[in-house]
Amino acid sequence: TYCAPQHVFPPQAEVLAAVRDAVLAEAFNPKVLFLFGTYTIGKERVFFEAARALGRKVYVGKQKRAVLDALGDALPAGDRALVTTDDTATNLHVVPMGSISFVRMKTILKYYRARYDTVVAFKPTGWTFEQAKKHSRATKRQQRGSLIQYSVPYSEHSSFDELRELVGFLAPRAILPHVGNDRGPRAAKMVELLTAPTRAVAVEGEEA
C-alpha cells in the first residue's frame, strides 16, 4: 500500500501520544463531541487511547460492536469494558471514516445540537501524512467554525521503511507486488524500491 519513499510514518506510539494530547487539549469544552473515524476493522487503538486519556467509555454502533466482540481475547478486557452502544453515555463516538468530512460533521452536530456545540473529529490514515510538510508528531489540525478535524498519520499497514526492513530480513527470491500491480513498469519499480541500496532510495525520495 505504501511502497514509495514519501510514505515513512512516525511510530504508532508517537502518533497515539499525539492523539491523547489533542483530546486532552480539546476536552476543556464540556459540550464537545469527539468523533473517531474507522473502517469495519482497524483504528481501534486510536479511540481506545482517547477513552483511556479521558477516563470515559466510547460509543460504537451495533455493527462495530459485533466486530469487536468477534475479536474475542485479542481485545484486552480493559478495552472491552470501555465500549458502549449507548450514544448518550459518552461524548466519544466511533463513526465510519466517511463521517469525518466537514459536511458530515456539520450534519452530526445538527443532530446532537441539544447536547453539543462543537465537533472534534480524528481522521487516522497514512494517506494524511506528507513527510516533507510534517510538524510536531505529524498531526494536522483544521478548523471551520465549531468543526475541528485532526488528520493523524496512523495506519496498520507497514510504511515504506518497514517494508524494506522486512525484505532485507527475509531476503526473498522473488517479490510479487499486490496493491497497484500493473504487471509492468509500476510493479517493477516497486520491487526496485524494496531491494535497492539505501542511498539509491534516499535519492529517489528527495526527487519525489
The predicted-structure confidence for 174-183, as pLDDT tens digits, reads as follows 877 777 666 6
How crowded is residue 28: how many other Cβ atoms within 10 Å of its Cβ? 7
Q: Which residue has the higher pLDDT, 110 or 129?
A: 110
Q: Which residue has the higher pLDDT, 34 or 165?
A: 34
Name the amino acid, one letter, at 135.
Answer: H
Cα 97 to Cα 4, 41, 101, 174: the distances in Å are 24, 11, 8, 35
Encode pLDDT of 126-160 as tens digits.
555 554 444 445 578 999 999 999 988 766 666 67
pLDDT of residue 90: 98
Q: Are strands 140-144 and 147-152 parallel, antiparallel or unpaired?
A: antiparallel
Tell me the C-alpha distance between 112 and 139, whole Å: 27
Stretch 66-75: mean pLDDT? 90
Cell 448518550, located at residue: 88
Q: Which residue has the higher pLDDT, 164 or 104?
A: 104
Sheet holding 118-124, edge to edge: 83-84, 58-59, 92-96, 32-38, 118-124, 147-152, 140-144
CA torsion, points 24, 62, 147, 26, in degrees to nearest 10?
Answer: -10
